[in-house]
Amino acid sequence: MKKLLLVIISFAITGLSVAGEGMWLPIFLKQLNESEMQAKGMKVSAEDIYSVNKSSMKDAVVLFGGGCTGEIISDKGLLLTNHHCGLSQIQAHSSLQNDYLKNGFWAYNQDQEIPCPGLSVTFIISIEDVTSKIIPFLKPELTEAERELKIRELSSTIEKEKSNGTHYTGSVRSFYNGNQFYLFILETFKDVRMVGAPPGSIGKFGGDTDNWMWPRHTGDFSLFRVYAGKDNKPADYAKENQPFQPRHFFPVSLKGIQQGDFTMVYGFPGRTTQYIPSFAVKTILETINPARIKIRTGRLQIIDEAMRSSDLVRIQYYSKQASIANAWKKWIGESKGLKRMNTIANKKKEEEDFQKWALESGNKDYATLLSDYEKTYVKYTPLSKTNDYINEAIYGVELLRYARGFNKLATLCQAKVKDEKSIAEESKRILDGASGFFKNLDAATDKKLFAAMLQMYLTDVDVTMHPALLTEMRSKYKGNLSEYADELYSTSMLSDSLKLKSLLTDFTSKKSKKLLNDPAFRLSLAFSDLYSAKIETEFNQLASKINAFNRKYMAAQMEMRPDQKFYPDANSTLRVAYGNVEGYEPADGVTYNYFTTIEGIIEKEDPSVEEFEVPAKLSELYQTKDYGRYGVNGTLPVAFVASNHTTGGNSGSPVLNANGELIGTNFDRVWEGTMSDIDFDPEHCRNISLDIRYTLFVIDKYAGCTRLIDEMKIVQ
């Protein structure tokens, strides 16, 4: 155990990584990265980036909501993130009367800033290595379940010790597949208000067509503000709360960018799997991605058609469609990239080297590791496919996913001893949340999804995984699933807000038959029961085995290559990625420049295609070349690419120059590089960032919201 721990810790002081590759923990920048970063052009120090002794850049970076990054850009808590990160809030505040999705939103004074219930932002106060407080207590004889329980117990103790008596919270997170552990001290603010968002014709210009693509011309940004109590500490929403005074905010640079300039992305990357073996990649490439792509293609066809037919449906499904489409296109690009990179073959070669080393090392566990690992994946793969079809296809139907939320209530009602108090509380909880569900549900669209997804499930999933009720309904309706959908949606009490209110108001166990016999609930329950009976136990057992193999294989790789600098996989914790402004060559004979301009927007303009509509005001500003101080050489910069290693979760991350000044906001990767979550290619992997000059131009010249410009510290 001690030997392993030493190996894991010692990696940090040796070796080199591939240029541009890596998502680094900021607490190790001094030891690991500072010299390389400065050689690339950085002029600040590691202490300027992360410090617990003074204000530093980390104090201006936040986890925005549950899955994006944001940055503080003024001393009054003004927050910048992506348009697509703020989309759910923009959508929630939109209506046919106030269509902020289409027309944009700008708060021209503080009183106009809109509260966003449920939205929070989290700052990182400090990061501490607590590996030595956990690993020694994880005895080898523990099962995976026992190990996880022990980790939770130890983590909880550590979190409480470090946060008790403060308004902070602690969170212990696993790194290197469970070989290291770090404690994050967090400060979370819950009063966040919407300040500004461009119209969709700017914020989502190019839509799904341009998503993940370069050249890019999307003005992907939105603005919020963090509010605090009178003591500048987190507080629940109150009208009298004041704008948060941050420990640090980013100066905004108008200096622009040039080829080769140093860039740094500071944010919360979501998930990567850089160190998985070839057979894991094979499962992704041949089973998981094809299934998910096919299902989402079917869902998107139906949703897109519905959104084009109605403004109300467009508003209802705007955020949902964007979320579905984003991952769908990413998976397509990822698969193409993995094939182009010959990732499976390359990993097999690495595994041959590993196996030779393992046999020479005399470690019996290492000698059989890969073969045991692969045997587990052979069993895991078909179950993962069925699991995806249930989650992506069946519960991609909103009514069925909503019906699944009634399982607890049904269980309470079927108990031998009825707990009427708990039944009443659960039914009230569901009823209280019902308005949110129905607000964004179009029954006609969902019915089409119902019929299409059930047909896809019946066609693609082995008959042994078909619930008896589904087989019965297919027979009853002679394969006409549209007719089944019509009947189910017209009779289900869960598909109609008034019927649901009638069912749940003063609900007791005596009314449970109506729920238990509801056709939507019955079908959802049939899939839940199938999952419990035929998938869940074995799937979780295999996943647990894979987790153990992941941990052992990660430790073994570090031991095998002690001179390599290993960065931990992304896990939604604070990371630094660094590289340089740089174009790329996506294919033979094709070269992409490192930046785009407003000319590209005008070139793409097509009034007949919603994705490529250009607002009249923006067109006018282009015609008059009225770019203000944000233009350069007679044009207006829009976006740029660099070699920073990013992934989902980095959306909204600040992109900083050598002086730690804000030059852009990260919002995407190029399609040819989306396999970087698994296999990083320095020739093709580029992150796409919105040039801060275009952001400021839209705020100032397009929207006329100059008060926001005035509160920023702008550097020229």
pLDDT digits (tens, 9 = 90+) for 596-627: 999 999 999 999 999 999 999 999 999 999 99
Q: Residue 363 has what pLDDT?
A: 87
Q: Mean pLDDT, to the nearest integer, of 451-471? A: 97
Q: Residue 9 has what pLDDT?
A: 42
Please name the residue ranges forming H helices in 128-178.
144-163
* Confidence label for 362 from pLDDT (cuts 50, 70 and 90): confident
Q: Residue 4 has what pLDDT?
A: 44
Q: Determine the 3-state secondary structure of 647 from DSSP.
A: coil
Task: Round to whole Å and give the CA distance between 618 and 687.
Answer: 26
pLDDT for 6 beyond 90: no
Short-list 579, 567, 581, 582, CA closest to 644 = 579
**Residues linked to residue 128 through DSSP beta bridges, in sequence order:** 183
* Confidence label for 66 from pLDDT (cuts 50, 70 and 90): confident
Q: Residue 20 has what pLDDT?
A: 78
DSSP secondary structure string for all residues of 7-48: HHHHGGGS----TT---B-GGGHHHHTHHHHHHTT--S-HHH
Q: Residue 360 has what pLDDT?
A: 92
pLDDT for 35 beyond 90: yes
pLDDT for 678 beyond 60: yes
H or E segment and range at residue 170: strand 169-175
Q: Residue 379 has what pLDDT?
A: 96
CB 394: neighbour CB atoms within 10 A? Answer: 27
Average pLDDT over the chain reads 95
- Largest Cα separation within the chain, whole Å, is 78
Short-list 119, 116, 121, CA closest to 105 = 116
Question: Is 104 in contact with 274 (CB distance < 8 Å)?
Answer: no
CA neighbours within 13 Å on the CB side: how many for 716?
A: 4
610-to-196, 204, 604, 702 alpha-carbon distances in Å: 22, 10, 12, 20
Short-list 76, 129, 168, 123, CA closest to 267 = 123
Short-list 692, 691, 641, 688, CA closest to 669 = 688
557-to-4, 242, 340, 363, 552 alpha-carbon distances in Å: 11, 51, 25, 13, 9
pLDDT for 131 beyond 50: yes
Query: What would the pLDDT profile of 382-411 be if each residue is shown by its tens digit?
Result: 999 999 999 999 999 999 999 999 999 999
* Phi (first) and psi of residue 126, to 5 degrees: -160, 160
For the chain, counts of helices (H) and of strands (E): 28, 22
Query: What would the pLDDT profile of 85-105 be if each residue is shown by its tens digit?
Result: 999 999 999 999 999 999 999
Q: Determine the 3-state secondary structure of 267 from DSSP.
A: strand
Q: Residue 18 has what pLDDT?
A: 52
* Confidence label for 19 from pLDDT (cuts 50, 70 and 90): low
Short-list 345, 280, 357, CA closest to 557 = 357
pLDDT for 44 beyond 90: yes
Catalytic residues: 84, 220, 651
Question: Tokens 């690495």 label which residue?
Answer: 350
Q: Residue 546 has what pLDDT?
A: 97
Residue 73 carries which DSSP code?
Answer: -
Peptide bond between residue 215 and the one before it cis (omega within 30 degrees of 0): yes
pLDDT for 2 beyond 60: no
Token pair in block for residue 629: 């101080």
Query: What would the pLDDT profile of 290-329 be if each residue is shown by its tens digit?
Result: 999 999 999 999 999 999 999 999 999 998 999 999 999 9
- Which pTM does this prediction carry? 0.92
Task: Round to whole Å and give the CA distance between 602 and 699.
Answer: 19
Question: Is 457 in contact with 392 (CB distance < 8 Å)?
Answer: no
Helix axes 289-309, 311-340, angle to 10 degrees: 150
Task: Round to whole Å and give the CA distance between 271 and 117.
Answer: 27
Region of residue 54 (left: phi > 0; alpha: psi -120 to 50; beta: else): beta
pLDDT more than 70, % of the chain: 97
Question: Is 605 in contact with 705 (CB distance < 8 Å)?
Answer: no
Distance in angstroms between the alpha carbons of the first and the last residue of the chain: 54
DSSP secondary structure string for all residues of 276-303: --HHHHHHIIIIIHHHHHHHHHHHHHHH
pLDDT for 696 beyond 90: yes
* Confidence label for 10 from pLDDT (cuts 50, 70 and 90): very low
Short-list 677, 620, 666, CA closest to 71 = 666
Q: Residue 225 has what pLDDT?
A: 98
pLDDT for 663 beyond 60: yes
Short-list 623, 662, 667, 622, CA closest to 641 = 667
